[in-house]
Amino acid sequence: MSDIIQLLPDHVANQIAAGEVVQRPASVVKELLENAIDAKSTYIKLIIKEAGKTLIQVIDDGLGMSVTDARLSFERHATSKIKSAEDLFHLDTKGFRGEALASIAAIAHVELKTRRVDDEVGTEIKIEGSEVVAQEVCVTSKGTSISVKNLFYNIPARRNFLKSNAVELRHIIDEFHRVSMAHPSIRFDMYHNTNEVFNLPVANHRQRISAIFGGKTNEKLVPINEETDLVTITGFVGKPQYAKRTRGEQFFFVNDRFIKSAYLNHAVSAAFEGLLKDKTHPSYFIYLTVDPKSIDINIHPTKTEIKFEDEHALYAMLRATIKHSLGQFNVAPVLDFNRDSSMDTPYEYKSKTVKTPTIEVDRNFNPFKEEKISSGSNTGKTDQSATKNYTSFKKESAGDWENLYVGLESEMTASTSVKNDFSSVEFESTEITGSLFEGDEKKMGHDITYQLRKKYIVTTIKSGMVIVNQHRAHYRVLYEEFLRNITMASAVSQQLLFPLKLSFSNSEIELLKTVKEQLENTGFVFGELSQEEVEINGIPSITSEGEVAVLLEQLIGDLENEVPNSGFSQTDLLAKSIAKSIAVRTGAELASEQQQYIVNSLFACTEPTITPDHKKTFITVTMDEIDKKF
């Protein structure tokens, strides 16, 4: 019987390793950008075509490589970052395993051009599926240019698992954000299909964050800063009033490396306790600097998870630092018994000179001369200086006090003759417009409904009774209505007296543009869509102006997490997102006609039994089931 265990060929081993390193085009972007940063570049350019499926190119002005280094860089476990096992415990670079370029070259066509500053000519290497096709001398600028073409060309099954271009581009932009925010001292440019997506000049952390997420992000940030022996914490947190329903703008960086940590995220949430609305999440951009020996980076293939030596102390410090900053900048209420707000110096007095207070006394004032003036006596000589600045008040005589009560008796008699009947009293009320529930009481019929715990609507049927979940039922009703409006373009819109202007990041506005036509079919009327602002002139008739910001924010979050191709799937997601945002919530008290409207509209739906998310909208309890309880 022959041996069955064999050594794998290098190209097969590289393809297996690629499964860990390269999950999608964004993984390639991350590895190449980090290599460029390790090469001490001051300018990095990223070029993408068809969301990275056709081309990913990174050009930098770093140190470059020699002929030997360029060839060795594509070998497995070849790296310039570590030389011994001890080096793993004090890493200050990005890549260190020596598998990235070998794995990428195993599943794509790779072209590398590189030149060092002192060299007159550079080196060009072409690799296809781990096989070196060509290596020759070339003329190129200082630094390195690496192009990855036709990703997964030799693994068609893996290529078929890639999402749409919109989804893959979103992941690439996320990786670009993470790398560029960690290194504001490097200039970054990004192009997609020859269009400029980002142009980020050298800046500080605050300017880089504002350049990525929009200029108005600057006013939403609260700085944090704390330095201890264990960790140095710097960065920014968003003000509570700007908290979002999605977790998009949450970033942790440890030694300039992006990480994900549910434990540290909980520390931030704990610091915001009591300041956020329900189901909203704060934005934060936090940079932690720790001793490399106190962390373990090599616990996850993508290196986005880190093991800390003392997590509990880090948790407490992070929470306390954020709470201190929120209180220091008057974002959170501060309990201080020694502080008197009346003693605060206004800002406008900051540059004024201090004046010594003076006391002015009118030495000619005589209080006894007032009586002579008020008594009408003109015989005495009046001192004009004494009366010039003071007003004399004539004391009313109390001798005619009986006149105050004249007519009071007749008024009391008249008042007792009037009965305490308030049936004729009319109260002025505000007319309610823009209700979610159409129709009036005449159309509702005379069915009896009852709201239970502000969550369920109970009504009767011939066989027993029905218990309806008010949120899920309204969700189903609005979903079918929006779906019908989008497909038939028959929605009713209400014009706003003053246009509504909302701020979003550049990538979020690009996402809104992809569904702009469908949103207009639901009743939205858009004005100008700039790079950082959306102008809305009209909204659907069943929504209120205050709900629009939350609605669009939730929609963007849904689109970011699951961006489908254009077609019915996108329309379906759009209808789901809008309907869920404005459906009546659990805990809302409903009038009897509103309860009846939800019940009647639910059973008029094409699929009344379940929500668009496949959850039950109602249950029935028959008379037999009720009888069995007795």
Q: Are residues 151 and 216 in the same domain?
A: no
**Of 376 and 550, the one with more pLDDT:** 550
- What integer pLDDT is reported at residue 122 of this predicted model? 92
- What integer pLDDT is reported at residue 547 of this predicted model? 78
CA proximity to 552, closest of 521, 509, 611: 509
pLDDT-wise least confident of 3-7, 29-33, 81-85, 195-199: 81-85
Average pLDDT over residues 467-485: 89
Residue 88 confidence (pLDDT) above 70: no
- What integer pLDDT is reported at residue 426 of this predicted model? 58
Q: Are residues 540 and 597 in the same domain?
A: yes
Q: Are residues 96 and 127 in the same domain?
A: yes
Residue length of the chain: 630
Contact predicate 39/69, CB 8 Å: no
Average pLDDT over residues 103-108: 87
In a 10 Å sphere around its CB, with 0-12 CB exposed, 13-18 middle and 19+ buried, how is residue 43 labelled?
middle
With cut-offs at 50, 70 and 90, classify the pLDDT of residue 79.
low
- What integer pLDDT is reported at residue 185 of this predicted model? 93
State the greatest distance between any 2 C-alpha atoms of the chain, in Å, as a whole number.
145
List the structure tokens of 579.
């309907």
- What integer pLDDT is reported at residue 129 of this predicted model? 84
Contact predicate 278/272, CB 8 Å: no
Residue 407 lies in a domain: no
- What integer pLDDT is reported at residue 365 of this predicted model? 81
- What integer pLDDT is reported at residue 569 of this predicted model? 66
Residue 369 lies in a domain: no
Contact predicate 470/598, CB 8 Å: yes
With cut-offs at 50, 70 and 90, classify the pLDDT of residue 441.
very low
Residue 331 confidence (pLDDT) above 60: yes
Final residue belonging to a domain, choices 286, 301, 328 = 328
Q: Are residues 159 and 232 in the same domain?
A: no
Strands 525-529 and 533-540 turn out to be antiparallel
Q: DSSP letters of 410-453?
A: HHHHHHHHS----TT-----PPP-S-SS-S-HHHH-S--EEEET
Domain containing residue 316: CATH number = 3.30.230.10
- What integer pLDDT is reported at residue 386 of this predicted model? 44
- What integer pLDDT is reported at residue 166 of this predicted model? 79
CA proximity to 232, closest of 284, 283, 287: 287
Q: Which of 180-184, 443-447, 479-483, 582-586 is most confident? A: 180-184
Residue 628 confidence (pLDDT) above 60: yes
Q: Are residues 114 and 238 in the same domain?
A: no
Q: Are residues 178 and 239 in the same domain?
A: no
With cut-offs at 50, 70 and 90, classify the pLDDT of residue 411.
low
Q: Are residues 194 and 217 in the same domain?
A: no
Final residue belonging to a domain, choices 137, 165, 200 = 200
**Of 432 and 230, the one with more pLDDT:** 230
Q: Are residues 106 and 159 in the same domain?
A: yes
Domain of 297? 209-328
Convert the pLDDT of each residue in 207-233 to its tens digit: 999 988 887 888 889 999 999 888 999
**Of 269 and 569, the one with more pLDDT:** 269
Q: Give 610's strand partners.
A: 616
**φ/ψ (deg, to 5) at 531:** -70, -25
Residue 379 lies in a domain: no
How many distinct structural domains can be found in the chain?
A: 3
Q: Are residues 557 and 475 in the same domain?
A: yes
Q: Are residues 179 and 258 in the same domain?
A: no
* Whole-number Å distance between alpha carbons of 618 and 610: 8
Q: Are residues 14 and 152 in the same domain?
A: yes
Residues in CB range of 554: below 8 A, 6 or more apart: 245, 246, 577, 580, 581
Convert the pLDDT of each residue in 334-389 to its tens digit: 555 565 666 666 666 667 777 788 888 888 888 777 554 444 444 444 444 444 44
- What integer pLDDT is reported at residue 516 of this predicted model? 83
Residue 105 confidence (pLDDT) above 60: yes
Residue 425 lies in a domain: no
Q: Are residues 447 and 503 in the same domain?
A: yes
Percent of the chain residues past pLDDT 70, beyond the cut: 76
- What integer pLDDT is reported at residue 566 of this predicted model? 45
Percent of the chain residues past pLDDT 90, beyond the cut: 22
* Whole-number Å distance between alpha carbons of 339 and 561: 47
Residue 497 confidence (pLDDT) above 80: yes
Residue 339 lies in a domain: no
pLDDT-wise least confident of 193-202, 234-243, 344-353, 499-508: 344-353
Convert the pLDDT of each residue in 287-296 to its tens digit: 999 888 887 7
Residue 306 confidence (pLDDT) above 50: yes
List the structure tokens of 349.
């007095």
Average pLDDT over residues 553-565: 68
pLDDT-wise least confident of 64-68, 144-148, 205-209, 527-531: 527-531
Contact predicate 458/598, CB 8 Å: no
- What integer pLDDT is reported at residue 371 of this predicted model? 53
Residue 401 lies in a domain: no
Residue 491 confidence (pLDDT) above 80: no
With cut-offs at 50, 70 and 90, classify the pLDDT of residue 131.
confident
Convert the pLDDT of each residue in 568-626 to its tens digit: 566 777 788 888 888 888 888 888 888 888 988 998 888 888 888 888 999 998 888 88
Final residue belonging to a domain, choices 170, 200, 230 = 200
Residue 496 lies in a domain: yes
With cut-offs at 50, 70 and 90, classify the pLDDT of residue 490.
low
* Whole-number Å distance between alpha carbons of 97 and 77: 6
* Whole-number Å distance between alpha carbons of 583 and 275: 25
3-state SS, 192-226, equals: ECCEEEEEECCCCHHHHHHHHHCHHHHHHEEEEEE
Domain containing residue 157: CATH number = 3.30.565.10
Residue 333 lies in a domain: no
